[in-house]
Amino acid sequence: MSLTNAIIQEKLVEKFGDQINLFSNEYDILSFEAPAANNLKVIQFLYDELGFTFLTDLCGVNYPDQKGAEIVVVYHLHNFIENIRVRFSVAVPVEKPDVFTASKLFESANWMERETYDFFGVNFIGHANLKRILNVDEMDYFPLRKEFPLEDQTRIDKDDEMFGRG
């Protein structure tokens, strides 16, 4: 029997019940969300039971208007045998962005988690070497969070008419 998005969703709901939600199917990729406390349980289930043995990508996203869920960690997993992909995400508050590390299961998660920490400030609990990877160690903020304006409003060397704003 071939693995389909409907079967994957059915097995996830059977195993985790209402802990998994927000199912959608875009471009033949099943997307779903779970609480951050369950991220390792879900990933381990996908790995062991459904054959998703390749972590394609892990990244962060900042949604400043989603109170209590401002930071989202997104996992893209691939099952090579069935050639099917899923997108799994967990949301955490910006005040306490704690997510369990997946680097024990996927060694490739090591650098991706470090990059997500470096730019979004996600604390991957249990990560062996969680430190900045691209930015300087002295940086005391996380540059991809949407806490800053896109432009420096105090600059006087820009002519707004040149940018269609005046």
Report pLDDT digits (tens) over 122-134: 999 999 999 999 9
CATH 3.20.20.70 fits 5-143, yes or no: no
Report pLDDT digits (tens) over 66-114: 999 999 999 999 999 999 999 999 999 999 999 999 999 999 999 999 9
Mean local confidence (pLDDT), 16-23? 94
Where in the chain are the domains? 5-143
Reported pTM: 0.87
CA dihedral (45, 16, 104, 118) in degrees, to 10, reads: 130
Q: Cβ-count burial of 93 within 10 angstroms (0-12 exposed, 13-18 middle, 19+ buried)? A: middle
Residue 11 contacts by C-beta under 8 Å, 6 or more apart in sequence? Answer: 49, 50
